[in-house]
Amino acid sequence: MPPALLHGVLNVGSINEDRVYRVHSIARPGETVCGLEYRVFAGGKGANQSVALARAGARVRHVGKVGNGGAWLRDKLAGCGVGVRHVTVADAPTGHAVIQVDASGENSIVLFPGTNHQITADERRQALDGAAPGDWLLLQNEVNDIPDLMAMGRERGLRIVLNPAPMTTPVRAYPLELADLLILNETEGEALTGEGEPSRLLDALRRRLPAATIVLTLGAAGARVAERDGDASPVATPHVQATDTTGAGDTFVGYCLALLIEGRTPVEAARYACRAAALSVTRPGAMDSIPRRDEVESWIPPLRSPVV
Q: What is the DSSP string of 47-87?
A: HHHHHHHHHHT--EEEEEEEEET-HHHHHHHHHTT-EEEEE
Phi, psi of 161 (to 5 degrees): -115, 125
Q: Is 102 a catalytic residue?
A: no
Q: Answer whether 274's CB lies under 8 Å from 287's CB.
A: no
In whole angstroms, give the CA distance from residue 53 to residue 171: 24
Amino acid residing at 301: P
Residue 259 burial (10 A CB sphere; 0-12, 13-18, 19+): buried
Where do the H-state alpha helices sit in 146-291? Answer: 146-155, 186-193, 198-208, 248-261, 266-280
**Active-site option among 180, 244, 250, 288:** 250
| Amino acid, single-letter form, for residue 300 | I
Max intra-chain CA distance, the chain: 57
Q: Could you give the residue numbers annotated as active site?
A: 250
